[in-house]
Amino acid sequence: MISDLMVFKYLIPFFPPEIESWATSARLLRWLTFVWLLIGLVVLFSASYAIANDEFGDGLYYVKRQVIWAYVGLLLFNLVTRISLTRWLKIAPFALILLLVLVITTKFAGVTVNGAKRWLAVGPLLLQPSELIKPFLVLQSAIVFGNWYRLKPFGRVFWLTIFAMVLGGILIQPDLSNTALCGMSLWLIALAGVIRWRYLIMVAASGVGLAALSITFQDYQRQRVISFLDPWAEAQGDGYQLTQSLMAIGSGGISGTGLGLSQQKLFYLPIQYTDFIFAVYAEEFGFVGCVVLLSLIMSFTTVALIIASQALNAVHRLIAVGAVIFLVGQSLINIGVATGSLPTTGLPFPLFSYGGNSVLASLFLAGLLVRVARENHEGNVVEFPSSSRR
């Protein structure tokens, strides 16, 4: 009976055992993650209801599936916060290489959606390796750049080659925005790892050159940049997405139209439940709601950076830095796209946009942040499952 009860407790993501022993920063970050996810589910419900009802005859089609993925993601979040970072770091190299193989496989056996092969069909599920690889990219890059000056030349070259292959595999799907995000994240993790500037400058120059080549030879990417510069010149063409997004945000005014009352989501604003979900949020909650959301994200960032600064060693610090870059950086890029501050990309808003793979990766990364905070506080490794308390 007691063992059954313990198993049941582990399956409840909201009430993990021994949470009262967690560091204050770990508990705070956990609740900020839950609030972020809850707001995202509410906004997704509003943004997707009309289109889901039109396409499937069920207005809850998208949100029901997102809730299932969110629950699975919370179970994963709970698991990540309970398993020592040492174990995750041991798994990371093998998981990264496996997911790299899957990323490359999508080019030959992937499912095409909107002209890109980013998904693999596994029964009724669609897996997106380029999303699932992000937590392990953070873990392995933390190992490499946290131990850079201890690694032998072969080890450095080997893992830099693997990272380059990851970026190349995502780029050929084609997915320039995700490639740029992963590339910038690796660069910033290396920067936090105090890698010499001349290496960082060389890598940055190579990345900019690769992006320029991709834009030159990919017509749709070039058109996105052109339409970004003057979206109103082609308001019914390549600038349609951005102009509709800007009209949605402008319609929100100071206090918004109210939950569920967005007009632009009613078949004007495209992909309103993924790439442009922030525009729906801004229209319904207005300037005040946007300030509240940005305050939540900045609070999350502040706590995460405090956790990183208190990390026990360089690798743990870089894990925290990498996780916050992916979660917060991707969120700000999504908001930048919706507001016309950045060219249109296909990056989802973490914990807001519809997509099970994104939810799993985001909650995994948030779990790693909480785990770093726990180990900062406890000063030792807490294994999973724990049979006794110290």
Q: Does residue 287 fall inside a structural domain?
A: yes
Q: Does residue 299 fall inside a structural domain?
A: yes
Q: Which DSSP string do the residues of 316-359 spell out, in sequence order? A: HHHHHHHHHIIIIIHHHHHHHHHTTSS-------TTTSS-HHHH
Give the residue with greater pLDDT, 345 vs 168. Answer: 168
Mean pLDDT check: name the lowest of 109-113, 136-140, 350-354: 109-113
Length of the chain counted residue by residue: 390
Indicate if the pLDDT at residue 2 is higher than 60: no
Alpha helices in the chain (DSSP H): 2-10, 24-56, 61-82, 85-109, 129-132, 134-146, 153-171, 176-192, 197-217, 219-229, 240-252, 277-309, 314-324, 330-338, 356-378
Q: How many domains does the chain have?
A: 1
Q: Does residue 14 fall inside a structural domain?
A: no
Confidence band for 114, pLDDT divided at 50, 70 and 90: low
Indicate if the pLDDT at residue 320 is higher than 70: yes
Q: Does residue 334 fall inside a structural domain?
A: yes
Q: Which two tokens stand for residue 182?
A: 């992963």
- What secondary structure letter does DSSP report for 151? S
- pLDDT for the residue 382: 45
Strand pairing report for 111-113 and 125-127: unpaired
pLDDT tens per residue across span 167-203: 999 988 878 789 889 999 999 999 888 777 777 787 7
Q: Is the peptide bond before 385 cis (omega within 30 degrees of 0)?
A: yes
Query: What is the strand order of the sheet 116-122 is part of?
Result: 111-113, 116-122, 125-127
- pLDDT for the residue 377: 78
SS (H, E, C) 200-218: HHHHHHHHHHHHHHHHHHC
- What secondary structure letter does DSSP report for 124? T
- pLDDT for the residue 232: 66
Highest mean pLDDT among 6-20, 223-237, 267-281, 351-365: 351-365
Q: Does residue 4 fall inside a structural domain?
A: no
Q: Does residue 122 fall inside a structural domain?
A: yes
Q: Does residue 255 fall inside a structural domain?
A: yes
- pLDDT for the residue 13: 52
- pLDDT for the residue 228: 66
How far is Cα 170 from Cα 107, in angstroms, rounded to an integer? 9
- pLDDT for the residue 221: 66
pTM of the shown model: 0.90
Q: Does residue 6 fall inside a structural domain?
A: no
Mean pLDDT check: name the lowest of 73-82, 172-181, 360-369: 172-181
Indicate if the pLDDT at residue 7 is higher than 70: no
Q: Greatest CA span in the chain, whole angstroms?
A: 69
The boundaries of the domain holding residue 345 are 19-378
Strand pairing report for 116-122 and 111-113: antiparallel
